Amino acid sequence: MGILVKGGTVVTALDSARADVYCDNGTVTAVGIDLSSMKRKGDREIDASGKLVLPGAIDAHTHMELPFMGEVSKDDFEQGTIAGTAGGTTTIIDFVIPTKGQSLLEGLAKWKEKAQKAVSDYAFHMAVVDWSDKIKAEIPVVAKEHGITSFKMFMAYKGAIGIDDEQLFNIMLSVRDAGGIVTGHCVNGDVLVVLAKKFLAEGKGGPIWHVRAQPPEAEGEACHRAISLATIAGVPLYIVHNSCDSSVEQLKLARAKGLHVYGETCTQYFLLDESLCEPDPAGVNYILSPPLRTKPDQESLWAALRDGYIQTVATDHCPFDTKQKLLGKGNFTKIPNGLGGVEERLALMYSYGVKKGRITAQKWVDCCCTAPARIFGLYPRKGAIAPGGDADLVIFDPSVEWSISAKTHLSRSDHSPFEGWRVQGKVETSIVRGRVLYEKGKFQGSKGDGQFLRRPRFERV
Ligand code: URP
Ligand code: ZN
Ligand code: ZN
């Protein structure tokens, strides 16, 4: 069955135009002014007049069913991708995070098993949390045989999944040889350990001390170090979840030099600030790493997105219930780190980015849909509305006003970091490979329908 999406405004990373989109057999076959003549018997027609038609959004940073800090994040691949489709996210890139000592391929097998439940498409980044001859030998196998060409390293989380500079540099050399890109959680882990110990010894255990233990300069320093090491190794680098001006400064320097360095931030860093972590213990529900920052940091992130120093906006979707968060009551080092948001990104970025005049509609589509596809080798199969590409489409109604609430969201989390936020614009329909998975408030896809996406060698974008 084909689908004709009729009369909408097609918004891409380059332009906006009134056009129809015709999809057949899971792919886009035509984009044009009036495609009514292409419609065949049995095809479905969706009236998109007054609506925006976008490429399916890609969330390049999620953690579904992640075992982390003694807990497991609330959304598994099924519920997390259902929530994603409600928010127009039709592809996620989740992180395989093997345990220390575990082989990358064992970790991958575990993630493949968990991800079988996904309702929409997914790819993986591979985290390297250790270094050994075995891991060195596995990196090219992961890249070439499994199509996973981005490798994550954590400079924080010392004593758990964090690595030191020697390990980091070894990983970079191997990823370069395998034709991959390194993605980095860049925060100085030693600063964090020392400050956390000091604060706890002083009786400062409330959630705000999690924020104080990761000053913005600890992020800027680690970004600078990662960029320098990547430059020496000759490997492209994608810095995940940039939260502050200090890291933006490093992205600017790197990109001004023409280095292969890319920046991601997440919706929460634009909109939520550190004051939310102040109440003790209620602030536990706003704890993630890097932490929420200040309003001037938010302005710096908007400017960096507008000016092209930051290319992608993801979510780092990793929600924990209040009960799980409260395990760190009185000791912030025990709060499972992470927030939800896979469902709200597109609408929040439209409402507080496009509608507030901070970014153009093209930038909105680029940072949420197209740039993640380009950087991670999925373009133009994903991230575009072009003949031959997957029919992953979002029909977005810019006229709907609504409020975010944990009472109505599809994530399993018992709270939302954006509770009560008013939003202008809502996803009406999400289509994945020509199948309507979400329409007018109802999910209508099936568990297991998601496909794993193999990715090629990194190409400079
Ligand atoms: O607090 C966060 N961001 N939790 C998820 C793991 C990570 O560091 O990305
Ligand atoms: Zn991280
Ligand atoms: Zn993350």
pLDDT recorded at residue 1: 87
pLDDT tier at 460, thresholds 50, 70, 90: confident
Q: What is the mean pLDDT of residues 385-391?
A: 98
pLDDT tier at 287, thresholds 50, 70, 90: very high
pLDDT recorded at residue 231: 98
Q: Which residues line ligand 1 (CB under 6 A)?
A: 63, 185, 288-289, 316, 318, 337-338
pLDDT recorded at residue 339: 98
Q: Which residues contact 394 (CB under 8 A, 6 or more apart)?
A: 53, 54, 55, 56, 57, 88, 90, 346, 427, 429, 430, 431
Q: Which residues contact 250 (CB under 8 A, 6 or more apart)?
A: 220, 223, 224, 227
Q: What is the mean pLDDT of residues 298-318?
A: 98
pLDDT recorded at residue 461: 83
87-117 residue pLDDT tens: 999 999 999 999 999 999 999 999 999 999 9
- Both tokens assigned to 147: 């199509």
- How many angstroms is it from 281 CA to the middle of ligand 3? 23
Which residues surround the ion ligand 2 when the cut-off is CB under 5 Å? 185
- How many angstroms is it from 276 CA to the middle of ligand 2? 20
178-224 residue pLDDT tens: 999 999 999 999 999 999 999 999 999 999 999 999 999 999 999 99
| Dihedral-angle region of residue 231 (phi above 0 means left; psi in -120 to 50 means alpha; beta otherwise) | alpha
Q: What is the mean pLDDT of residues 223-252?
A: 98
Q: Which residues pair with 237 in a beta bridge?
A: 182, 261
* Cα distance between residue 112 and residue 123, in whole Å: 10
Task: Report how far apart, in Å, the C-alpha atoms of 280 and of each of 214, 318, 328 are.
Answer: 18, 21, 11
* Cα distance between residue 154 and residue 326, in whole Å: 24
- How many angstroms is it from 201 CA to the middle of ligand 1? 25
Mean pLDDT score across all residues of the chain: 98
Residue 21 has a CB neighbour count (10 Å cut-off) of 25
* Cα distance between residue 235 and residue 215, in whole Å: 27
* Cα distance between residue 29 and residue 388, in whole Å: 6
- How many angstroms is it from 365 CA to the middle of ligand 2? 24
Amino acid at the residue 452? F
149-162 residue pLDDT tens: 999 999 999 999 99
* Ligand 1 atom closest to 63 (CA): 5
Residue 337 has a CB neighbour count (10 Å cut-off) of 24
- Both tokens assigned to 461: 């974008």
Residue bearing the CA closest to ligand 1, atom 2: 338
44-91 residue pLDDT tens: 999 999 999 999 999 999 999 999 999 999 999 999 999 999 999 999
Three-state secondary structure string covering the chain:
CCEEEEEEEEECCCCEEEEEEEEECCEEEEEECCCHHHCCCCCEEEECCCCEEEECEEEEEECCCCEECCEECCCCHHHHHHHHHHCCEEEEEEEECCCCCCCHHHHHHHHHHHHCCCCCEEEEEEECCCCCHHHHHHHHHHHHCCCCCEEEEECCCCCCCCCCHHHHHHHHHHHHHCCCEEEEECCCHHHHHHHHHHHHHCCCCCCHHHHHCCCHHHHHHHHHHHHHHHHHHCCCEEECCCCCHHHHHHHHHHHHCCCCEEEEEEHHHHHCEHHHHCCCCHHHHHCCCCCCECHHHHHHHHHHHHHCCCCEEECCECCCCHHHHHHHCCCHHHCCCCECCCCCHHHHHHHHHHCCCCCCHHHHHHHHHHHHHHHCCCCCCCCCCCCCCECCEEEEEEEEEEECCCCCCCCCCCCCCCCCCEEEEEEEEEEECCEEEEECCEECCCCCCCCECCCCCCCCC
**CA dihedral sign of residues 342, 192, 71, 416:** negative
- How many angstroms is it from 316 CA to the middle of ligand 1? 6
> Is residue 178 within 8 Å of residue 147, measured between CB atoms?
no
Which candidate, 47, 51, 87, 85, places its Cα nearest to that of 395?
51
* Ligand 1 atom closest to 154 (CA): 8
Which candidate, 224, 226, 225, places its Cα nearest to that of 250?
224
Pocket test for ligand 1, best of 96, 157, 286, 318 (most atoms within 8 A of CB): 318
* Cα distance between residue 305 and residue 238, in whole Å: 15
